[in-house]
Amino acid sequence: MAYYLPSLKLQFRYLMFVSFWNKLSINQKLAITAWLFLAVPIAFYVIIRFYPTFEAFYVSTLKWNLLGAKKYIGLRNYEKIFADEDFWLVLLNTFKYAGVGVPISLFLAFSIAYFLNEINRWHDFIRALYFIPFLTTAVAMAWVWKWFYQPMPIGYINYFLTSVGIPAQPFLKSVHQGLYAIMAPAVWAGLGFQVIIFIAGIRAIPRSYYEAAEIDGAGRWQILREITLPSLKPTVIFLTVVSTIGFLRIFDQVYSMTTNGSGGPLNTTKPLVLMIYEFAFDEFKLGRAAALTVILFVILLVISMFQLWLMRKKP
Amino acid sequence: MIDQASRIAYLEKIQPGKIIIWTLLFLGGVVMITPLAFMISTSFKTGTEVFNLGIIPENPTLKNYIFILNESKFLRWMLNSLWVATFSTVSVVFFDSLVGYTLAKFTFRGQTIVFVAILSTLMIPTEMLIIPWYMMSREFGWIDTYWGIAFPGLMTGFGTFLMRQFFMGLPDELIEAARIDGWSEFAIWSKIAMPLVVPALSALAIFHFLGNWTAFIWPLIVTNDPDLYTIPVGLASFNGEFETDWEIVMTASCLATLPTLLVFLLLQKFIIRGVMLAGLKG
């Protein structure tokens, strides 16, 4: 067994370190430990989060196809985007996903949570039925819904519609229905999460509020309007913001449900993120794509700021 | 519990239509899982039987599963997803809680700046970072590697924030007592603080794992080689190939979905509590 004997230089350095360390106060030692714990994470956040954020702004000022030379063109990318008719259509689509999807899912989720909170029999089981879709993979479920939307011999929904006397619908193939047909599975999958959060919110309301209302002889509707809903304001704000951001970033469903992931027919279902993906990774216009991501960032930032502002106004 | 029960009892008194509500909720729940039920049923049907819209397959067969596992790289994709999600989850559980603990239980100059900086990353949408990440991956040869798929999610601002909230709830006396006993700071964190926040840690782990298992856009961009696809990317590659073989596609969707459903059935209470926890603290 050979012992490793450090060189004199190393031994000296070690002693220097020990004497330095022993001279420190306990608070200084703790501060050094803290920075030691944070060293790797700080490197990660700087390299993987902050630097790329600034790089995205920088790339948005370039004309660049990934292989050729980078050419600085200032704000030309933004000018081109705003002059592009397709961009405005895509922006409108994106806001349609959020503007229609969020109210529908919040209304459904609240109604389900409100009544689910009152039933005892099979409570956990029924809650699980609503929650399970939240655990699915969007791409897998896109296939299932795409199959449901098929025309007559295969599609369940059209089979159901025709059997109750409603004509078969084109769904994904229609410029009017496509967007809503893609929104449906997104609402479906997100509902369970919102239901659970609403139930948690409803249960956090102090019981004394209800007792006071009962003594005052308030009816069910009045209790809902004057106690339950106002008390749920933070929950509603939280869910509105989270699901708005979710719908504004919709991508998986659209990419998987439209033909070749094109956001068709005629771009009527294409959201912003799909447009970013196409510019960056199909056409290799990285500058233009980066400028679009900056626009998305600004939109989401405004929404987050709005949330903070709403929360602050709460007494 | 008593609170809840008596509130329910009170509401039951003024709710004569309770049976109707129960029935509607139940039917709604059944509608919610209908897509999954048909997906599972169709995965056991033969190609010609797909046109028969009944929920019970007439001649149940495992042929589709055998076909998928033999003719596509599905098994490989499942292992890829499993490996990437596990690696990423271990990293998040370790680093997010270490950083959360440091920010909650140490006092040092620059603490607030670090916390605000990490929190501010929550405002940056992934989509904005994807192009720089892709440039970085090309530069360093991370395209078509596990590391390339996993690196963006190795630490999260959300997890750090969540863990900080929970560690702040721990009494300082506990940590000081351990310090006096001569424990190292790392041991105090890993052996004393960590066991006390297991519920929060497991909620974080479950959600991070699920998020990775279903993640789509980044794995789609960073992988070109079908051997490196994760499940969602592999499933999307069926677009075109098996376009009209619905029983095959449903079988693949089943294989992608069933692992998470099984985990849910096993840990149901735990997961639901985790959602509430994350939702309320976050």
Instruction: Work out the average pLDDT over B186-205.
Output: 92
Question: What are the C-alpha distances in Å from B208 to residues A7, A198, B123, B143, B214?
Answer: 47, 22, 18, 22, 10
Instruction: Work out the average pLDDT over A9-18.
Output: 87
Instruction: Work out the average pLDDT over A223-228.
Output: 89
Task: Average the pLDDT over each of A35-49, B167-181, B264-278 and give the range with the smallest value.
Answer: B264-278
Instruction: Work out the average pLDDT over A84-104.
Output: 96
Query: pLDDT-derived band of residue B87, with 50, 70 and 90 as boundaries?
Result: very high
Q: What angle do CA A76, A82, A87 make, to 5 degrees?
A: 125
Dig out the tokens for B158 from the structure.
């959300």
Query: pLDDT-derived band of residue A286, with 50, 70 and 90 as boundaries?
Result: very high
- B129 vs A: CB within 8 A: yes
Return the bridge partners of A63, or none: A71
pLDDT digits (tens, 9 = 90+) for B242-282: 667 888 999 999 999 988 888 888 888 888 888 887 666 54
pLDDT above 70: residue B241: no
pLDDT above 80: residue A302: yes
Residue listed under structure tokens 């790289």 = B73
pLDDT above 80: residue A241: yes
- pLDDT number for residue B41: 92
Dig out the tokens for A284 from the structure.
């290799």
Longest CA span, chain B: 74
Return the bridge partners of A62, or none: A72
Q: Which of B232, B210, B266, B152 is nearest to A261 (CA)?
A: B232
Domains and CATH numbers, chain B: 2-66 (no CATH), 72-281 (1.10.3720.10)
- Across the interface, whether the CB atoms of A136 and B36 are under 8 A apart is answered yes
Q: Which helix or strand (DSSP H or E) is residue A62 part of?
A: strand A62-63
Instruction: Work out the average pLDDT over A250-258.
Output: 94
| 3-state SS, residue A120 | coil
Cβ-based contacts of A311 with chain B (< 8 Å): none
Ramachandran bin of B240, using left for φ above 0, alpha for ψ from -120 to 50, beta for the remaining angles: left
Question: What are the C-alpha distances in Å from A215 to residues A118, A209, A225?
Answer: 20, 10, 17
Cβ-based contacts of A200 with chain B (< 8 Å): 276, 279-280
pLDDT above 60: residue B9: no
Q: How many helices (H) and strands (E) does chain A have?
A: 16, 2
Per-chain mean pLDDT for chain B: 89
pLDDT above 80: residue B70: yes
| 3-state SS, residue A63 | strand
Cβ-based contacts of B39 with chain A (< 8 Å): 144
The shortest C-alpha distance from B99 to chain A (Å) reads 6
Query: pLDDT-derived band of residue A3, with 50, 70 and 90 as boundaries?
Result: low
pLDDT above 50: residue B26: yes
- Across the interface, whether the CB atoms of A144 and B39 are under 8 A apart is answered yes
pLDDT above 90: residue B2: no
Question: What are the C-alpha distances in Å from A23 to residues A26, A30, A170, B91, B108?
Answer: 9, 13, 78, 35, 18
Are B97 and A37 within 8 A, CB to CB?
Answer: no
Dig out the tokens for A211 from the structure.
């007792």
- pLDDT number for residue B48: 80
How far separated are the first and last CA of chain A, in Å rounded?
A: 72
* C-alpha span between B27 and B126 (Å, rounded): 38
pLDDT above 50: residue B1: no
For residue A166, what are the contacts with CB-CB under 8 A and spacing of at least 6? none
pLDDT above 90 covers a percentage of chain B that reads: 67
Instruction: Work out the average pLDDT over A180-190.
Output: 96
* Domain at A83-313, CATH homologous superfamily: MetI-like (1.10.3720.10)
Cβ-based contacts of A301 with chain B (< 8 Å): 123
pLDDT above 60: residue B169: yes
For residue A80, what are the contacts with CB-CB under 8 A and spacing of at least 6? A288
A 10 A CB-CB count for A43 gives 10
Task: Average the pLDDT over each of A43-52, A95-104, A245-254, B49-58 and give the range with the smallest value.
Answer: B49-58
Instruction: Work out the average pLDDT over A130-159.
Output: 91
- pLDDT number for residue A313: 62
Residue type, A209: Y
* C-alpha span between A72 and A64 (Å, rounded): 9
Q: What is the DSSP string of B130-159?
A: HHHHHHHHHHHT-TTSHHHHHGGGSS-HHH
Q: What angle do CA B254, B259, B260 make, to 5 degrees?
A: 105
Q: How many helices (H) and strands (E) does chain B have?
A: 17, 0
Tell me which residue in B39, B51, B264 faces A135 most closely, judged by beta carbons: B264
* C-alpha span between B48 and A297 (Å, rounded): 48
pLDDT above 50: residue A298: yes
Residue type, A99: G
Q: Which of B256, B148, B153 is nearest to B208 (CA)?
A: B153
Task: Average the pLDDT over each of A51-55, A87-91, A108-112, A224-228 and give the range with the smallest value.
Answer: A224-228
- Across the interface, whether the CB atoms of A140 and B235 are under 8 A apart is answered yes
Instruction: Work out the average pLDDT over B72-92.
Output: 95
3-state secondary structure B33-57: HHHHHHHHHHHCCCHHHHHCCCCCC
Phi, psi of B169 (to 5 degrees): -75, -10
- Structural domain boundaries in chain A: 8-59, 83-313
How far separated are the first and last CA of chain B, in Å rounded?
A: 24
The residue in chain B having the minimum alpha-carbon distance to the alpha carbon of residue A111 is B25
A197, burial (CB in 10 Å: exposed 0-12, middle 13-18, buried 19+)? buried
Return the bridge partners of A72, or none: A62
Residue A153 has, within 13 A of its CA and on its CB side, a CA count of 6
Rounded to two decimals, the pTM is 0.90
* C-alpha span between A133 and A124 (Å, rounded): 15
Ramachandran bin of A171, using left for φ above 0, alpha for ψ from -120 to 50, beta for the remaining angles: left
- pLDDT number for residue B136: 96
- B118 vs A: CB within 8 A: yes
Instruction: Work out the average pLDDT over A12-37.
Output: 89
* C-alpha span between B201 and B198 (Å, rounded): 5
Cβ-based contacts of B281 with chain A (< 8 Å): none
- B55 vs A: CB within 8 A: no
Which B residues 58-117 touch A at CB under 8 Å?
95, 98-99, 101-102, 106-109, 111, 114, 117
- pLDDT number for residue B5: 60
Per-chain mean pLDDT for chain A: 91
pLDDT above 80: residue A199: yes
Return the higher-pLDDT residue of B82 and B272: B82
- pLDDT number for residue A181: 96
* C-alpha span between A112 and B258 (Å, rounded): 25
pLDDT above 60: residue A293: yes
- pLDDT number for residue B243: 63
